[in-house]
Amino acid sequence: MTDIIQLLPDHIANQIAAGEVIQRPASAVKELLENAVDAGADEIKLIINDAGKALIQVIDNGKGMSVTDARMAFERHATSKISNIEDLFRIKTMGFRGEALASIAAVAEVEMKTRRDLDEAGLYLEIENSLVKKQEPVAVPVGTSIAMKNLFFNVPARRNFLKSNAAELRHIVDEFIRVAMSFPNIFFSFTSNGQEVFHLDKGTLKQRIVQLLGNNYNAKLVPVQEQTDYMNIYGFVGKPETAKKTRGDQYFFVNNRFIKSAYLNHAVMNAFNEMIGKDSFPMYALFIDLDPAQLDINVHPTKQEIKFEDEKIVYAFVQSAVKHALAQFSITPTLDFDLDGSIQSLDAISKPFTEEKRSSASTSSLFNTFTQKNQSHFIEGRSELKHWKEFYEGSAAPATGPVSDTTIRSAVAQPQPDTSHAFQLLNSFIVVQHNRGYLLLHQQNAHERVLYERFNNAVAGKPIATQSSLFPATLELSVMDAVMLQDLLPDLQQLGYLLEPFGNQTFVIQGTPADVDQGNERTAIEKLLEQFKHFSSELKFSKREKLIRSMALQQSVKAGVQLGAKEMQTLLDELFQCSTPNITPNGKPTYLEFKKDELDKLFGR
């Protein structure tokens, strides 16, 4: 009987270990950027080709390496940060495991050039499959340049699991932002396929946040600053009006390392309690400094999850620091005149609306005129209802697709409503009689179902017609949103939107769906992207499914909008032509049925 247990060959062991550290191009970007920071660089350049699949290069002006150090850096468990077990609990550098370069060399072709200040010549190394193919002196400036090419060239199965270029680029931008935000005293640049995406000059933390997350935050950041003997916290939170429906712009750093912590996020959300909606997420970039002995950052291969020795103290400290900052802001609000949104910080918005003021306002003639004549409903609904009739003409046939539980539920015989006698209730519901009683429809839910099936047909091969814009609008986005929109352009064209990239995160809106009123295209697309990001947390949906759900939700007629008889009838007719008329794509009911015999029972008949 022969023995069956044997040691793995080094190159296979390295590839397995690499799987923990290098899961996608963004993982390698993170490790290389952190190494550059640890090298003491104050200029770091990231160069990407083909979303990191063809090339990831990081060039820094740090201290460089000796010949021996350069060779040792590619060995597993080789590190300059730890010499005994106690060092593991005093870590203040970004990298320390000694796995990054070894992992990268196991799954990519690597070229490294490095030189120390005291060396006349630098070193050039070429490594493939963890083996050194070439080593020679080279003339290079002080610092290190590492280029990794053809990621996963020797692990085709891993390469096949990579997403689209736009999706992988989003992850790379994420990692770049996390490192660049931590070190505003370092110059960073990021170039993708020859185009500079970020050029971040050294500056203050506030300047770096605005450079990374967009100019709309420029005058909408509240400083957070608290110090104790146990820990310090500093950074910024967004004013309540900057809260979004997605949790994208939320960053926690502990000792300058980005971390993910649902626990600390809950502390910030509590601090914003009653200042923002329950379905909204505040922006924050908060930095916690505390003794490394009080935490363990070695609990996860990516080092993004950490354990605090006393979580409750940290939670309470974060919550009170943010609350204190927001309280100071509300007492002495700052006026932001340099942005269009400056009205948000005027007294009328930022100061509490007391009972005295409420009473005074409600008795004013202006208030009575608007409420008595329902003018607010007309004002809110006018732009959305223009071309309502045309919107429904030529509606697509019911969508077909795989049978789902929702389809089965809708297979039950549907009521036959008398749409000619419908009426609106509270500008939000539609009451319509049918053969067994009456239906109470929620107008937004119903419209959402109609639009969803219409858009589903469009992406399945019946594109929605596009009308060219007479005066094309330009749309300027943050880098993350621009990358996302680029990925959605083909599907958006099927849905009637024609957008063209115009360089520097700018797009030109050349056309919109023929049956949608023109004039607010820019806002519509911004809201669509925000809604799409919200759905992106639902991993079970495809990109296309998220997009059509987002559009249906965003374009549906809202509760509070007054509808005419013809508009109600059209909506009802379209709803009951749907394959699944009784629920929205998210499973909410579009109508409730009240049967005559049940109504009789309520009155004792």
DSSP sequence for 153-213: TT-HHHHHT---HHHHHHHHHHHHHHHHHH-TTSEEEEEETTEEEEEE-S--HHHHHHHHH
Per-residue tokens: 230: 């146990």
Q: Does residue 175 surpass a pLDDT of 60?
A: yes
Per-residue tokens: 361: 């306002």
> 200-210: b or e for each residue (b if 16 or more CB lie within 10 Å)?
beeeebbebbb
Both 419 and 476 in a single domain? Answer: yes
- SS3 for 242? helix
Both 417 and 458 in a single domain? Answer: yes
In angstroms, the CA 565 to CA 8 distance is 75
pLDDT score, position 10: 65
Per the CB < 8 A criterion, the answer to whether 46 and 131 are in contact is no
Within-domain flag for 178? yes
What letter represents residue 540's amino acid? K
**Pick from 184, 250, 181: nearest CA to 212:** 181
In angstroms, the CA 322 to CA 312 distance is 16
Q: Does residue 458 surpass a pLDDT of 50?
A: yes
H/E element, 246: none
Find the length of the chain: 605
pLDDT score, position 329: 72
Within-domain flag for 348? no
pLDDT score, position 166: 80
Per-residue tokens: 263: 């626990």
**Pick from 170, 177, 161: nearest CA to 107:** 161
> 346 pLDDT band (50/70/90 cuts)?
very low
Q: How many CA atoms lie within 13 A of 171 on its CB side?
A: 18
Residues near 548 by Cβ (< 8 Å), separated by ≥ 6? 452, 455, 456, 458, 459, 495
Per-residue tokens: 557: 């007629």
In angstroms, the CA 502 to CA 508 distance is 6
In angstroms, the CA 497 to CA 61 distance is 45
Q: Does residue 590 surpass a pLDDT of 50?
A: yes
Q: Which residue has the tokens 């736009």?
A: 166
Within-domain flag for 274? yes
> 110 pLDDT band (50/70/90 cuts)?
very high
Both 431 and 492 in a single domain? Answer: yes
Considering 162-166, 176-180, 192-196, 367-371, the range whose residues carry the highest mean pLDDT is 176-180
In angstroms, the CA 568 to CA 563 distance is 6
Q: Does residue 512 surpass a pLDDT of 50?
A: yes
In angstroms, the CA 424 to CA 119 distance is 82
Of 167, 196, 225, the residue at which a domain comes to its end is 196
Q: What is the pLDDT of residues 26-63, one digit of tens each?
A: 988 998 999 899 889 999 999 999 999 999 999 999 99
Q: At 120, phi and psi to the nearest 5?
A: -75, -40
Q: Does residue 555 surpass a pLDDT of 90?
A: no
Per the CB < 8 A criterion, the answer to whether 93 and 303 are in contact is no
Per-residue tokens: 449: 């179902």
Tell me the average pLDDT across 291-303: 59
Tell me the average pLDDT across 321-331: 79
Strands 187-192 and 43-49: parallel
> 296 pLDDT band (50/70/90 cuts)?
low
Per-residue tokens: 272: 């914003």
Per the CB < 8 A criterion, the answer to whether 557 and 385 are in contact is yes
Both 64 and 168 in a single domain? Answer: yes
pLDDT score, position 14: 62
Residues near 72 by Cβ (< 8 Å), separated by ≥ 6? 78
Q: Which residue has the tokens 């009123």?
A: 517
pLDDT score, position 69: 86
In angstroms, the CA 154 to CA 182 distance is 34
**Pick from 188, 143, 140, 192: nearest CA to 166:** 192
Per the CB < 8 A criterion, the answer to whether 322 and 271 are in contact is yes
Of 159, 177, 196, the residue at which a domain comes to its end is 196
pLDDT score, position 81: 45
Tell me the average pLDDT across 125-140: 89
Within-domain flag for 90? yes
**Pick from 114, 18, 9, 136: nearest CA to 66:** 114
Per-residue tokens: 441: 């429809």
Tell me the average pLDDT across 306-328: 83
Within-domain flag for 344? no
> 598 pLDDT band (50/70/90 cuts)?
confident
Q: At 300, phi and psi to the nearest 5?
A: -150, 140
Tell me the average pLDDT across 413-430: 76
Within-domain flag for 499? yes
Q: How many CA atoms lie within 13 A of 415 on its CB side?
A: 21
Per the CB < 8 A criterion, the answer to whether 208 and 235 are in contact is no
Residues near 575 by Cβ (< 8 Å), separated by ≥ 6? 441, 446, 449, 450, 581, 590
Both 445 and 467 in a single domain? Answer: yes
Q: Does residue 338 surpass a pLDDT of 50?
A: no
Within-domain flag for 345? no
pLDDT score, position 537: 56
In angstroms, the CA 571 to CA 528 distance is 22
DSSP state of 231: E
The residue among 405 and 92 whose pLDDT is bigger is: 92
Q: What is the pLDDT of residues 1-28, one digit of tens each?
A: 677 777 766 666 666 655 556 788 998 8
SS (H, E, C) 27-75: HHHHHHHHHHHHCCCCEEEEEEEHHHCCEEEEEECCCCCCHHHHHHCCC
pLDDT score, position 207: 93
In angstroms, the CA 74 to CA 80 distance is 12
Tell me the average pLDDT across 166-177: 89
Both 462 and 539 in a single domain? Answer: yes
Within-domain flag for 413? yes
pLDDT score, position 55: 94
Both 215 and 175 in a single domain? Answer: no
Q: Whole-model pTM?
A: 0.66
In angstroms, the CA 230 to CA 235 distance is 17
What range defines the domain where residue 221 resides?
Answer: 206-331
In angstroms, the CA 109 to CA 147 distance is 8
pLDDT score, position 299: 44
Both 508 and 587 in a single domain? Answer: yes
Cβ burial, residue 581 (10 Å; 0-12/13-18/19+): buried
Considering 94-98, 476-480, 588-592, the range whose residues carry the highest mean pLDDT is 588-592
Task: Provide the CATH number for the domain around residue 63.
Answer: 3.30.565.10
Residues near 538 by Cβ (< 8 Å), separated by ≥ 6? 546
Tell me the average pLDDT across 361-366: 52
pLDDT score, position 538: 52
Task: Provide the CATH number for the domain around residue 313.
Answer: 3.30.230.10
Q: What is the pLDDT of residues 557-589, one digit of tens each?
A: 888 888 888 888 888 888 888 888 888 888 888
Task: Provide the CATH number for the domain around residue 462.
Answer: 3.30.1370.100
How large a percentage of the chain has pLDDT more than 90?
Answer: 20
The residue among 512 and 116 whose pLDDT is bigger is: 116
pLDDT score, position 18: 55
Summary count for the chain: helices (H), strands (E)? 21, 22
Both 67 and 28 in a single domain? Answer: yes
> 255 pLDDT band (50/70/90 cuts)?
confident
- SS3 for 301? coil
For the chain, the domain total comes to 4
> 351-390: b or e for each residue (b if 16 or more CB lie within 10 Å)?
eeeeeeeeeeeeeeeeeeeeeeeeeeeeeebeebbeebee
Both 79 and 167 in a single domain? Answer: yes
| Residue 437 region by backbone torsions, left for phi larger than 0, else alpha for psi between -120 and 50, else beta | left
Q: Does residue 325 surpass a pLDDT of 50?
A: yes
Both 367 and 322 in a single domain? Answer: no
Both 121 and 73 in a single domain? Answer: yes
Of 160, 175, 196, the residue at which a domain comes to its end is 196
Q: Does residue 484 surpass a pLDDT of 80?
A: yes
pLDDT score, position 41: 93
Residues near 2 by Cβ (< 8 Å), separated by ≥ 6? none
Strand partners, 137: 123
H/E element, 82: none
pLDDT score, position 118: 92
Mean residue pLDDT of the chain comes to 77
Q: Does residue 383 surpass a pLDDT of 50?
A: no
pLDDT score, position 304: 57
pLDDT score, position 184: 95
pLDDT score, position 189: 95
How large a percentage of the chain has pLDDT more than 70?
Answer: 74
